[in-house]
Amino acid sequence: MENAQDMTQITQTIQSEISNAVIGQTQIVEQIIIALIASGHVLLEGVPGLGKTLMVQALAKTFNGDFSRIQFTPDLMPSDVTGHILYDMKSESFKVRKGPVFTNLLLADEINRAPAKTQAALLEVMQEQQVTLEGRSMAVGHPFMVLATQNPIEQEGTYPLPEAQLDRFLFKILIDYPQDKEELALVQHTTDHKTGDKLDVSRVASCVQPETILKLQKQAAVLQVDEQVVQYAVNVARSTRSWNGIAIGSGPRGGIALIRAARARAVMHGRDYITPDDIKEVTLPAMRHRIVLSPEMELEGMHSDRILENILDKVPAPRH
């Protein structure tokens, strides 16, 4: 674990195992692993049927820790997420019934199918990695990661996530339709000698222990970052506040997210330093959910990614 080659080998093994279940989507898998190393949470968005849940389940299989899944529905209550305290008549005492958030890896499936009060139940645990029940604080497992999937907000029966919760996600990753060859391989893989459409992660092996992930996270946290690179990340985040077409720009969490993710990407690629290219590579997933376009831009069909790409083109990056 001490040298860069070991760290790169670990992350490559995770990617390789996930690819046994997920066809293509290499960049998206890499971004999820970056978020894991950065000790961040991920929001996966895409129309139904693109493999969002399969991708999370495959990561959970490689990640040999505790795994929980919550299917968000309109009638889901906050206590169904965090747990609750109940009175046991037999023992004449109060007992804690922990919810599914007490785990290492939490899959929040179709998170925007539940109303805001239930979505908000994840706020404290995502930020503080603890749950408060009746005034009593209880820590969740370490490492802890929330992987939430959501359908586009134009889909029927969805609730937009509160801005405060969106900001808690390190990355928002968009999953698009696969390429022609990838879709062909996907259909063949899914239908060959299989009945039904059950998600199959049987070919994915458990290859990482929670302690290994914690070491990777600590390695990323202590990575030295040149002040010019930090200034570049801050400049990118600050530019969103005055950029034409952006109604609400990123707060300070945007710059923090860029540095955290860039450190994790450097660790993943076997480096003990980060470069401006690391910042550029993580800008779209780290910033697309932290800006709000003006109504005029939305009417023109402009996408936040295109504006962020324009910002990256115009904000000068350090050369040394």
Q: Are 234 and 253 in contact (CB under 8 A)?
A: no
Peptide bond into 143 cis (omega under 30): yes
Residue that has been written with the tokens 């962020």 in this structure: 308
Residue 255 to residues 54, 81, 194: CA-CA distances in angstroms? 31, 30, 46
Residue that has been written with the tokens 């939490």 in this structure: 106
* Cα–Cα distance for residue pair 144/261, rounded to 1 Å: 16
Task: Tell me which residue of 68, 48, 70, 50 sits closest to 60, measured CA to CA.
Answer: 68
**Predicted local confidence at residue 114, as pLDDT:** 86
Neighbours of 310 (CB within 10 A): 14
Neighbours of 71 (CB within 10 A): 14
Residue that has been written with the tokens 């849940």 in this structure: 53
Task: Tell me which residue of 194, 191, 167, 155 sits closest to 46, measured CA to CA.
Answer: 155
Q: Give the pairing of strands 136-139 and 130-133.
A: antiparallel
DSSP 8-state class, residue 143: S
DSSP 8-state class, residue 315: S
Residuewise pLDDT in 10s, the chain (320 residues): 456 677 888 899 998 888 888 877 888 999 999 999 999 999 998 877 767 778 888 888 888 878 888 999 889 998 899 888 787 777 777 788 888 999 888 999 888 888 888 888 887 788 888 888 877 788 888 899 999 988 776 566 677 787 777 889 999 999 888 778 877 877 776 777 565 555 677 788 888 888 889 999 999 999 989 999 999 999 999 999 999 999 999 999 999 999 999 999 999 998 989 999 999 999 999 999 999 999 988 888 788 999 999 999 999 999 86
pTM: predicted TM-score of the whole model, two decimal places? 0.88
- Structural domains of the chain ordered from first start: 1-181+207-215 (3.40.50.300), 223-320 (1.10.8.80)
**Predicted local confidence at residue 191, as pLDDT:** 72
Distance of CA 148 to the CA centre of its chain: 7
DSSP secondary structure string for all residues of 219-287: HHHT----HHHHHHHHHHHHHTTT-TTEEE---HHHHHHHHHHHHHHHHHTT-SS--HHHHHHHHHHHH
Sign of CA dihedral 264, 266, 270, 273: negative
Q: Are 33 and 15 in contact (CB under 8 A)?
A: yes
- Half-sphere CA count of 206, side-chain side, radius 13 A: 10
Which tokens belong to 46? 């895409």
Which tokens belong to 95? 């007992």
